[in-house]
Amino acid sequence: MSAQVAIVGGGIGGLALALGLHERGLTCDVYEAAGEIREIGVGITLLPHAMRELAALGVQPQLEAQGIENLESVFFNRWGQFIFREPRGRHAGYALPEIGIHRGKLHRVLYEAARQRLNEQHIHLGHRCIGVTQDVDSVSLRFADRPADVRADVVIACDGVNSAVRRLFYPDEKLAFTGINTWRGVSVHPPILTGKSYLRIGTIETGKMVIYPIVDDVDGEGRQLINWVAELRQPPHERNDWNEPGRLEDVLPIFRDWRFDWLDVPQLIEGAQQIFEYPMVDKDPVARWTFGRVTLLGDAAHPMYPRGSNGSAQALIDARVLAQELAEGGDPRDALARYEQQRLEPTARVVQTNRTVPPDFIIMKADELSGGQPFPGTIDDLVSQDELRRISDHYKQVAGFSLDALKPS
């Protein structure tokens, strides 16, 4: 008889795990705190290693239909000067595309797939977990405003960076905040560069923008829905709030002079329908995720800086590895331990790399060589494209999406 699995959290990682378990013939129930599933949030980039997992779950066609396939990634300094360009996804030789998509649409695709395959009685909305207890034979989950506990053989916490389940095992843990604040928005705007370009401009020390399209021809006149993220390091006491809407007057002055012949950044920001503000936070890697019949997955296990589009990808890989181990049968506690053994160290490396040598280290390197000033001539006078490519390739290798790592076996 297979293990009865309870999944706490119906986000990207939790739903991917549910679909993976169902694919392998295992029963599970998903308990999500939200009372309804709404398409909220902004954009997300699905890198080839994320798309590999999503394709295996059978949702690639829906995602390609609702997103935009990236052609290239392009780096500029804050003066709008070109630094580095590389092809992405299929255009770089991968078997799978790199997709920019609205996070809410990705979540909806996974949610609808889970509803259809698991049946609705296995997805429980409005269930906010407030307690977990276990004995030799099973685990009990307690939910706010629910009279009865739920019992299962194992519990998988997929409840995000502020995981209530993780807090039970690490009650004194704090989020790590080093002063980097972020503002996010989406704006209707004409296509930028190729209309399939993922842009990074500037650095966190003086202002950084990440910009990419997520919906094509959003208005019937050829304009796109453009996702943008602004980042700036500020004094640690000036930490953005999780729950407050961002204010135009806080973010616009940082980029007021960023008017290039190929993009007017202030105009893009001013066109946002709504601005969200967040602190850029993560947590130090921990020594263990698994406690008997309970383990952690995704942001609950390894919250990382949202750089390099890797948080969701690592959660999707977690989900596949854990589903495979549980499908092996035997004592489910052993399966949780094997999953942790495979995923703990690789994700810790990504957390640390996102802190120290993120993809935009390419721009940081160029700024270091130019003294933070506009450079005369071209970037090739300061650093070779081969050296910059090595920086990019190193990040891909650590994050698990180098071209060699994703070649079909």
Q: Which segment of 52-56, 173-177, 215-219 scores lowest on mean pLDDT?
A: 173-177
Q: How do residues 87-146 score in pLDDT, each as one tens digit?
A: 999 999 999 999 999 999 999 999 999 999 998 899 999 999 999 999 999 999 999 988
Average pLDDT over residues 391-403: 86
pLDDT of residue 243: 60
pLDDT band at 1 (very low <50, low <70, confident <90, very high): low
On average, the pLDDT of the chain sits at 93
Give 130 or 400, the one with higher predicted confidence: 130
Residue 213 pLDDT greater than 90, yes or no: yes
Distances (CA, A) of 184 to 201, 206, 229, 233, 371: 15, 17, 5, 15, 28
- Terminal Cα distance for the chain, rounded: 32
pLDDT of residue 42: 86
pLDDT band at 237 (very low <50, low <70, confident <90, very high): low
Residue 194 pLDDT greater than 60, yes or no: yes
Residue 41 pLDDT greater than 80, yes or no: no
Residue 408 pLDDT greater than 80, yes or no: no
Q: How do residues 298-333 score in pLDDT, each as one tens digit?
A: 999 999 988 767 889 999 999 999 999 999 999 999
Average pLDDT over residues 220-239: 89
pLDDT of residue 93: 94
| Assessment of whether the complete model's pTM goes beyond 0.85 | yes
pLDDT of residue 409: 56
Give the C-alpha separation, 255 to 242, whole Å.
22
On whether the CB atoms of residues 377 and 366 are closer than 8 A, the answer is no
Rounded to 10°, the helix 12-23/311-327 angle is 30
What's at 403, amino acid-wise?
L
pLDDT of residue 75: 97
Q: Which segment of 19-23, 60-64, 233-237 scores lowest on mean pLDDT?
A: 233-237
**Token output for 344:** 């703990």
Burial class (CB in 10 A: 0-12, 13-18, 19+), 293: buried
pLDDT of residue 290: 98
Q: How do residues 150-186 score in pLDDT, each as one tens digit?
A: 999 999 999 999 999 999 999 999 888 888 899 999 9
Q: Phi and psi of 311, rounded to 5°? A: -60, -50
Average pLDDT over residues 11-24: 97
Q: How do residues 277-296 score in pLDDT, each as one tens digit?
A: 988 888 999 999 999 999 99
pLDDT band at 190 (very low <50, low <70, confident <90, very high): very high
CB atoms within 10 A of CB 325: 20
pLDDT band at 273 (very low <50, low <70, confident <90, very high): confident
